[in-house]
């Protein structure tokens, strides 16, 4: 209730609803993309031979990283706006959980990403396949964080 308590009554109406629903949509988009990678893209990729597997993973990772990083930041900013406009602490919590994908990625997944990026696809072998399998399990953490964030924001929007 920061916005309403800060002497800005009326802002907690349509603006709060727009910011909150936009945050929820962005969190759901993030989650959908992350889950898609885990249940469709990763299993299909693992059917490829080692060289093709790594060749496909590299550009897919770069595109996915740019999209999901942007969605995490945008969803966080929108959730903070919903909180600021008087939506309550659940919006802030949902945004923080979505943004938690950044440190999780930087500290939990990035070492595996760097190891995979350093492998030339021409010499890709069982090590690359093992690392990509590990990457898939690590990426499931991003799906989980997105799902939790989406559920929190859904709860916040129904309060």
- Establish if 77 belongs to a structural domain: yes
Containing structural domain, residue 18: 13-158
Say if 132 falls within a structural domain: yes
Dist CA 81 CA 8 (whole Å): 14
**Which residue's structure tokens are 């249940």?**
39
Identify whether 8 is part of a domain.
no
Residue 89 within a domain: yes
Number of separate domains in the chain: 1
What is the distance between the alpha carbons of residues 34 and 148, in angstroms, rounded to a whole number? 12
Cα separation, 93 vs 87, in Å, equals 11
Give a yes or no: residue 4 inside a domain. no
How far is the first Cα of the chain from the last one, in angstroms, to the nearest whole number?
A: 13
Q: What is the pLDDT of residue 6?
A: 47
Mean pLDDT of each 10-residue bin along the chain, 159 residues long? 47 81 98 97 96 96 94 98 93 98 97 97 95 97 98 95
- What single string gives the DSSP state of each residue in 40-94? IIHHHHTTS-HHHHHHHHHHHHHHHHHHHHHHHHHHHHHHHHHIIIII-HHHHHH
- Is residue 102 a part of any domain in this protein? yes
Is residue 84 one of the residues assigned to a domain? yes
pTM above 0.75, yes or no: yes
Give residue 10's pLDDT. 53
How far apart CA 38 and CA 137 sit, in angstroms, is: 8
**11 secondary structure, DSSP code:** T
How high is the pLDDT of residue 13?
78
Would you say residue 61 lies in a domain? yes
Asked if 98 and 149 touch (Cβ cutoff 8 Å), the reply is yes
> So what's the pLDDT on residue 4?
45
């Amino acid at each position: 209730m920061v916005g309403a308590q800060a002497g800005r009554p009326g802002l907690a109406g349509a603006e709060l609803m727009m910011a909150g629903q936009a945050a929820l949509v962005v969190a759901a988009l993030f989650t959908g993309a992350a889950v898609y990678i885990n249940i469709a893209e990763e299993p299909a990729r693992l059917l490829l031979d080692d060289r093709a597997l790594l060749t496909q993973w590299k550009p897919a990772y770069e595109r996915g990283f740019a999209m999901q990083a942007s969605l995490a930041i945008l969803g966080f900013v929108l959730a903070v706006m919903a909180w600021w406009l008087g939506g309550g602490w659940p919006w802030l919590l949902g945004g923080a959980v979505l943004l938690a994908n950044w440190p999780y990625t930087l500290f939990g997944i990035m070492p595996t990403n760097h190891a995979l990026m350093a492998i030339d696809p021409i010499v890709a072998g069982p090590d690359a396949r093992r690392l990509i399998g590990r990457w898939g399990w690590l990426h499931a953490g991003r799906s989980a964080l997105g799902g939790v964030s989406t559920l929190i924001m859904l709860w916040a929007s129904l309060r």
